[in-house]
Amino acid sequence: MASLLLFASIILQSASGLRILGLFPYQGKSHFTMCEALMRGLSGKGHQVDVYSHFPLKNPIPNYKDFSLAGSLPAVANNMTYEDVSKATGTDMIGFWIGKIGTSVCRLMDHPLFQELFHHPPRDPPYDIIVHEVSVTHCFIPWGRHLGIPIVAVITLPLLDWLFEPLGNPINLAAEPSIFSPYAAPMSFLQRLDNFIRFKSINRDFDRFSEEHARYVEKYFGISDRKPIELIKDVSLVLVNYDYSVSGVRPFAPIVVPVGGLHILDHNDSVPEALQTWLDQSDRGFVYVSFGSMTRLETFPRHVIDTFYKSFQNIAPVRVLLKIAKPEEMPAGMPDNVLVQTWLPQIQILSLFPRNERNHFAVCGELMRGLAERGHYVDVYSHFPLEEYVVNYTDISLRGTLPEEKTVFLPDDLYERVSKEEQLERWLRTYGKSICELMSSTLFQALFDNAVHDPQYDLIITEAR
C-alpha cells in the first residue's frame, strides 16, 4: 500500500504543470499575436499561465488567466500615419520608437495591476518562470530578479541589432544584413560598408536614447549599476520570430532559438459571404494588398495614393483586395476593380493563391546552384534556365515543352470545391502524362543514347511528385 501511494505521488508530481507569468506591456496587436499563440500553447499543455496584456481573450480557455491592461496606453493598431511611418523608418527611428513606445511602456509599471503583482506576488503556488516580450525597452526584464525565477524573452521580429553583443551572438556584417538594412546577401563593397555603419549607428543610438529608461529601472527595482541594454544578459532563453526561408541563413548562439511561424495558426475564421462571392467571381485572379495592422494607407500623400490607383487600374481585369482601416478617408478615384475591406481573414485569403510551377523549381534550382558553387559540375534539365552565368552549371533548357501550371488550372478551377480524387486525376492526366512523354524529346533521347560521358555522371537528382 505504501509503495502504491509513493508511486501515485510521483506520478502526480511529474504531471503537474508550471505556473507561468506572461508580461506583455507593449500595446501592438501584431506583436501580441505571436505571444498569445505561445501562451495558448503552454496553457494547452497543462501549464497555468497568467497573462498581463492589452488584449484579453474574447473566449476564455482553461489554464489561461487574463490581467487586462486594455486602455492604459494609446492604441497603435490602425493608428500609424504616413508621418509616423516616415519617422519610424527614418534616420532617427530609434529615438522615435524609444520615445513613442519604450518610455510609455516603462511608465506602465505604475499600473495598479503591476504594483499589486510587485508587492504581493502569488505564493500558492509561486511563479516558476516568466515569459516577456522584449523590443525597444528592457524595463521589465528585472522582474526575473525581483521574483527570483528564470525569464524567457520573446522577440516578435528577427533578432534586433542591439541584442547581438549582449547575447554573445555572432554577426558577420560583411555577409549578414542589419535588420534595418535594405540589402540582402550577397552585398557589394559599398553595401557592406553602409551595412556596417548602419549597424554601429543603430547600436549607438539605442544605447544613447535608452539611458532615460535606466531611471525607471532604478525607481522600480533599485538597479543602478547596469545600463538597460545589459539587462538582457539576465534572460535564460530567447525565442525569436525568425526563419531562414524568409530572412536568410545566419548563426545563432545556443541561447537564441528561432521559432518563426509559431503564431501562424488557422483558427477556421469564416470568409464573409459577400467577400466569398467576390472571390469566386474574380475569374482572372486577384491581388491582396495590406499595409499590416498599424499603418494607415489613407494618410499617405495624395500623389502616392494616385500612384496606387493607377497601378491597380493598369492590372484590370485582375482584381485588387485592399485592406483599409478607414475607407471613408480615402480620396476619390478608387478604380472599379478594387474591393476595400476594413478587416480580412488573412490566412483564409492567402490560402486561395495557386501554386506556380516555378516555385517548385526554386528549391531544386538553389540546390543545384549551390552544388555548382561548391565545385561540382552539374548539368540541369529544367524549364527555367538561369538568367546569369554560373561556373560549373550547364543548362539544358526544356522551356516550351510543357504548358506552365497556371495555364493548366484556370482561376475558375481554384474555386471549384472538387474532391482530392478529381484533383489527382487532373494532375495525372495533364502533368503526369506530359512529363512521361518528355522522354521522347530529342534532348532526353540524346541523353539516353549517350549515357556514357567523360567523365561519367556520379549522381542523379530529380524532383519526385
Residue 282 CA to residue 299 CA, distance in Å, equals: 28
Fold match between domain 16-258 and domain 273-400+425-452: yes
φ and ψ at residue 337, rounded to 5 degrees: -90, 10
- Which residues are paired to 151 by β-bridges? 130
Interval 397-408: pLDDT, tens: 877 766 554 444
- Residue 193 above 60 pLDDT? yes
Query: What is the reported pLDDT for 406?
Result: 43
Q: Do 135 and 26 meet the contact criterion of CB atoms below 8 Å apart?
A: yes
**pLDDT, tens digit, 9 for 90 and up, residues 351-381:** 444 333 454 565 677 777 777 877 778 888 8
Counting residues of the chain whose pLDDT is more than 90, the rounded percentage is 32
> What pLDDT, on the 0 to 100 scale, is given for residue 184?
81
From CA 386, how far away is CA 363, in angstroms rounded?
14
Confidence category of residue 28, pLDDT binned at 50, 70, 90: confident
- More confident position, 295 or 238: 238
- Grid coordinates given for 398: 526544356
Can you give the pLDDT at residue 147? Answer: 96
- Which tens digits make up the pLDDT trace of 310-344? 989 888 888 888 888 888 888 888 999 999 888 77
How do residues 47-90 score in pLDDT, each as one tens digit? Answer: 999 999 999 999 999 999 999 999 888 776 556 666 666 654 55
pLDDT of residue 36: 94
Q: What is the helix (H) or strand (E) element at residue 416, kind and residue range? A: none
Residue 166: cis peptide before it, omega within 30 degrees of 0? no
Domain spanning 16-258 has what CATH number?
3.40.50
- Kindly list the domain boundaries of the chain, sorted by start residue: 16-258, 273-400+425-452
Total length of the chain: 465
The CATH label, of 2.60.40, 3.40.640, 3.40.50, 3.30.2010, for the domain at 273-400+425-452 is: 3.40.50
Helix/strand/coil percentages in the chain, nearest 5:
45, 10, 45
- CA distance linking residue 175 with residue 189, whole number of Å: 11
Q: pLDDT at residue 303 above 70?
A: yes
